[in-house]
Amino acid sequence: MNFLINERLHDFFRGDDAAWDDITFKFYDPMLSQLERNFKNLPFTELQDVVSDWVTDIFKKVREERLRAERQRFSGE
């Protein structure tokens, strides 16, 4: 699985926005299942919110890094 994630992250950094959808699809359900097992007292909708928030936060960080890398590449740094 790490190979797939690494490959799709490389693709995302090369400008393939659909690669992020592949990463999200690969991790969303397993993360939700893990939270369900560990936090049985939380409503399912809250668990979904947690996973969605996590995915959004990670996307923002990865996107910032992609933009930074693009600026460096184009500025010749």
Mean pLDDT of 19-40: 92
Count of Cβ atoms closer than 10 Å to residue 55 Cβ: 16
Mean pLDDT of 12-26: 90
| Mean pLDDT of the chain, nearest integer | 90
The answer for residues whose C-beta is within 8 angstroms of residue 73's C-beta and 6 or more apart is none
Residue type, 13: F
Structure tokens at 64: 């910032």
Q: Is the pTM of this model over 0.85?
A: no
Handedness of CA 18, 22, 40, 53 (dihedral sign): negative
